[in-house]
Amino acid sequence: MSQINVRVDGVAYTDDVEPRTLLVHYLREQLGKVGTVIGCDTSNCGACTVHLDGAAVKSCTVLAVQADGGEVTTIEGLAQDGALHPMQKAFHEMHGLQCGFCTPGMIMASVDLLRENPNPSETEIREGIEGNLCRCTGYQNIVRAVQQAAGEMAGSASAREEVR
Amino acid sequence: MIPAAFEYARPTTVDEALQAIADGGEDVKILAGGQSLIPVMRLRLAAPETVVDLSRIEELRGVRDDGDALVIGAMTTHHDVLTDPLIAQHAPLIAAATETVADRQVRARGTFGGALAHADPAGDLPAVALALDAEFVIAGPGGRRTVPAADFFVDYLTTALEEGELLVEIRVPKLAGQWGMHYEKFNRVAQAWSIVAVAAVVRRDDGHIAEARIGLTNMGPTPLRARAAESALAGAEASAEAIAAAARSAAEGTSPSSDLNAQADYREHLAQVLTRRAVTAAAGL
Domain B62-171 has CATH 3.40.50.10190: no
pLDDT tens for each residue of B141-173: 999 999 999 999 999 999 999 999 999 999 999
A153 and A132 assigned to the same domain = yes
CA distance B107 to B81: 9
pLDDT of A163 > 80? The answer is: no
Task: Find which of B10, B105, B187 to mutate to test the A interface (most A CBs within 10 Å of its CB).
Answer: B105
φ, ψ of residue A117 in degrees (nearest 5) = -135, 85
A70 and A112 assigned to the same domain = no
| B179-282: CATH class | alpha beta
How would DSSP label each residue in chain B? --PPP-EEE--SSHHHHHHHHHHS-S-EEEESS-TTHHHHHHTTS---SEEEE-TT-GGG--EEE-SSEEEEETT-BHHHHHT-HHHHHH-HHHHHHHTTSS-HHHHHH-BHHHHHHHT-TT-SHHHHHHHTT-EEEEEETTEEEEEEHHHHEEETTEESPPTT-EEEEEEEEPPPSSEEEEEEEE-SSTTPPPSEEEEEEEEEETTEEEEEEEEEESSSSS-EE-HHHHHHHTT-BSSHHHHHHHHTTTTTT------SS--HHHHHHHHHHHHHHHHHHHTT-
Whether B104 sits inside 8 A of A109 (CB atoms) is: yes
Mean pLDDT (chain A) is 95
Q: Which residues of chain B lie closer than 8 angstroms to A41, CB-CB? A: 1, 42
Is A135 a member of any domain? yes
Domain with CATH 3.30.390.50 in chain B: 179-282
Is A41 a member of any domain? yes
* Domain harbouring A145, CATH code: 1.10.150.120
Whether B34 sits inside 8 A of A62 (CB atoms) is: yes
Q: How confident is the model at residue A161 (pLDDT cuts 50, 70, 90)?
A: low
A56 and A109 assigned to the same domain = no
For chain B, say whether A33 makes contact (Cβ under 8 Å): no
pLDDT tens for each residue of B3-51: 999 999 999 999 999 999 999 999 999 999 999 999 999 999 999 999 9
Q: Which residues of chain A lie closer than 8 angstroms to B56, CB-CB? A: none
* Domain around A97: 86-163
H or E stretch including A5? Answer: strand A2-8
Is A62 a member of any domain? yes
Query: Which of B1, B109, B191 shows the shortest C-beta gap to A130?
Result: B191
Burial class (CB in 10 A: 0-12, 13-18, 19+), B188: exposed
Whether B2 sits inside 8 A of A41 (CB atoms) is: no
A116 and A67 assigned to the same domain = no
User: Residue B174: left (phi > 0), alpha (psi -120 to 50), or beta?
Assistant: beta
Is A104 a member of any domain? yes
Query: Which of A2, A22, A49 shows the shortest C-beta gap to B105?
Result: A49
Query: Which of A20, A21, A55 shows the shortest C-beta gap to B4?
Result: A20
Give the number of beta-carbon pairs within 8 Å between A and B.
80
Whether B191 sits inside 8 A of A131 (CB atoms) is: yes
Whole-number pLDDT of residue A13: 98
Q: How far is CA B132 from CA B70, B180, B233, in A?
A: 11, 12, 17
Strands of the B196-205 sheet, one edge to the other: B179-186, B196-205, B208-217, B224-225
- Residue ending a domain, choose from A76, A103, A129: A76
Interface of A with B in 61-120 (CB under 8 A): 61-63, 65-66, 109, 112-113
Q: How confident is the model at residue A41 (pLDDT cuts 50, 70, 90)?
A: confident
Q: For chain B, list residues with pLDDT below 70.
A: none
- Residue ending a domain, choose from A28, A56, A76: A76
Is A28 a member of any domain? yes
More confident residue, B14 or A156: B14
* Domain harbouring A68, CATH code: 3.10.20.30
Domain with CATH 3.30.43.10 in chain B: 7-53
H or E stretch including A3? Answer: strand A2-8
Q: Return the CA Rg of chain B.
A: 19
For chain B, say whether A19 makes contact (Cβ under 8 Å): yes
For chain A, say whether B53 makes contact (Cβ under 8 Å): yes
Domain count, chain A: 2
Q: Which residues of chain A lie closer than 8 angstroms to B35, CB-CB? A: 43, 61
- Residue ending a domain, choose from A48, A76, A104: A76
Give the minimum alpha-carbon distance from A161 to chain B in angstroms, rounded to a whole number. 27
Query: Which of B6, B103, B104 shows the shortest C-beta gap to A19?
Result: B6
Whole-number pLDDT of residue B192: 84
Q: Quick one: how many helices (H) and strands (E) in chain A?
A: 5, 5
Is A37 a member of any domain? yes
* Model confidence, pTM: 0.95
Whether B39 sits inside 8 A of A21 (CB atoms) is: no
Architecture of domain B7-53: 2-Layer Sandwich (3.30)
Give the minimum alpha-carbon distance from A7 to chain B in angstroms, rounded to a whole number. 18
A15 and A70 assigned to the same domain = yes
For chain A, say whether B42 makes contact (Cβ under 8 Å): yes
For chain B, say whether A46 makes contact (Cβ under 8 Å): yes
A9 and A64 assigned to the same domain = yes
Q: How confident is the model at residue A136 (pLDDT cuts 50, 70, 90)?
A: very high
Give the minimum alpha-carbon distance from A160 to chain B in angstroms, rounded to a whole number. 28
For chain A, say whether B106 makes contact (Cβ under 8 Å): yes
Mean pLDDT of the A54-73 span: 98
Whether B109 sits inside 8 A of A113 (CB atoms) is: no
A95 and A156 assigned to the same domain = yes
Is A27 a member of any domain? yes
A67 and A26 assigned to the same domain = yes
Chain A CA closest to residue B43: A42
Domain with CATH 3.30.465.10 in chain B: 62-171
ipTM of predicted assembly, 2 dp: 0.94
